């Protein structure tokens, strides 16, 4: 985590080396001239939980890479009902090419650090570099796959399956290296109960009750409301539905 910050604060135009290392950032697609140009235009910023990054219907003038933390993408009905339609983890790209207005609200769920570029700079480079466009296409396809997976969860799973699915999703994102295998996993929840409810299409009370049930059944334990230990991942997977 500190490594990433160093890359940026050092002021050297190796911008987004960290993103590249994780194989999904957009900057690795550029040649060194382009990188220098982009480095000049880019800026790193740190954001507090709850801060709004991009307002719904707002004109967007920059794109960003998530360097650390979790960003939630939400949609809201006029009466206040809210749904989280996506979670962006490092090193995801943030922004909607080819549209000036965002259809979603982007908000920091945890402390977030971002590297952002003016919209115009990225769009200029997209025209020059097909490789950059290719990366954006891959990331977009990945997000589409994730969105469709989640539609199955939202439309057809029960509350307890939803909560189990959510925990697995977080577990897999926090440390993708131990994806398979590893029976026991530990992580901090990046979302509050209210956020989790908005992600799952449930109420906070239902989420809380499901956590209680999982605790009672010895599947997980929770300390300080955030720090989760999954005792037996296989049992969570069984509950998540296949």
Partner DNA sequence: GGCGCCAATTGACCTGGATCAAGAACCAGA
Partner DNA sequence: TCTGGTTCTTGATCCAGGTCAATTGGCGCC
- Interface residues with DNA (CB under 7 A) are 158-160, 192-194, 201-209, 211-212, 222, 224-226
Chain position carrying tokens 């939803």 = 162
234 binds a copy of itself (CB under 8 A): no
Least distance (Å) from a copy of itself to the CB of residue 134?
A: 6
Please give the sequence-ordered ranges of beta strands (E in DSSP) within the chain, or none if there are none: 43-47, 52-54, 62-68, 70-76, 82-89, 93-94, 105-108, 112-118, 185-188, 220-223, 227-230
Cα-based angle 138, 142, 147 (whole degrees, multiple of 5): 145
Return left, alpha or beta for 174; rule: phi > 0 is left, psi -120 to 50 is alpha, else beta: alpha
Q: Which stretch binds a copy of itself (CB under 8 A): 37-45, 56-64, 93-101, 179-187?
A: 93-101
181 contacts: CB under 8 Å, gap ≥ 6: none
Q: What is the 3-state secondary structure (H, E, C) of 144-172?
A: HHHHHHHHHHHHHCCHHHHHHHHHHHHHH
CB closer to DNA, 22 vs 193: 193
Burial class (CB in 10 A: 0-12, 13-18, 19+), 152: exposed
Interface with a copy of itself (CB under 8 A), residue from 36, 61, 100, 156: 156
Least distance (Å) from a copy of itself to the CB of residue 119?
A: 15
CB closer to DNA, 134 vs 221: 221
238 binds a copy of itself (CB under 8 A): no
Least distance (Å) from DNA to the CB of residue 126?
A: 39
Footprint on residues 53-92 left by a copy of itself (CB under 8 A): 73, 75, 77-79, 81-83, 85-86
150's contact among DNA, a copy of itself, none, with CB below 5 to 8 A by partner kind, is a copy of itself
Q: Which stretch binds a copy of itself (CB under 8 A): 16-24, 153-161, 168-176, 230-238?
A: 153-161
């Amino acid at each position: 985590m500190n490594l990433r910050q160093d890359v940026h604060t050092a002021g050297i135009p190796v911008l987004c080396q960290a993103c590249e290392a994780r194989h999904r950032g957009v900057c690795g697609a550029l040649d060194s001239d382009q990188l220098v140009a982009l480095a000049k235009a880019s800026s790193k910023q740190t954001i507090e939980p709850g801060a709004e990054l991009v307002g719904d219907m707002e004109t967007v003038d920059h794109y960003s890479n998530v360097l650390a933390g979790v960003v939630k993408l939400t949609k809201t009905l006029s009466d206040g009902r809210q749904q989280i339609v996506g979670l962006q983890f490092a090193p995801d790209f943030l922004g909607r090419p080819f549209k000036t207005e965002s259809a979603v609200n982007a908000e920091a769920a945890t402390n977030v650090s971002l590297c952002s570029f003016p919209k115009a700079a990225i769009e200029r480079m997209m025209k020059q570099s097909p490789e950059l466009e290719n990366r954006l296409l891959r990331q977009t396809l990945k997000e589409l796959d994730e969105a469709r997976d989640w539609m199955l969860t939202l439309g057809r799973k029960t509350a307890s399956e939803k909560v189990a699915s959510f925990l697995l999703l977080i577990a897999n994102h926090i440390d993708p290296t131990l994806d398979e295998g590893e029976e026991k996993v530990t992580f901090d929840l990046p979302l509050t109960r209210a956020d989790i409810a908005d992600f799952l299409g449930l109420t906070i009370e239902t989420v809380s009750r499901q956590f209680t049930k999982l605790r009672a059944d010895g599947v997980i334990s929770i300390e300080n409301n955030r720090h989760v230990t999954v005792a037996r991942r296989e049992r969570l997977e069984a509950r998540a539905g296949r």
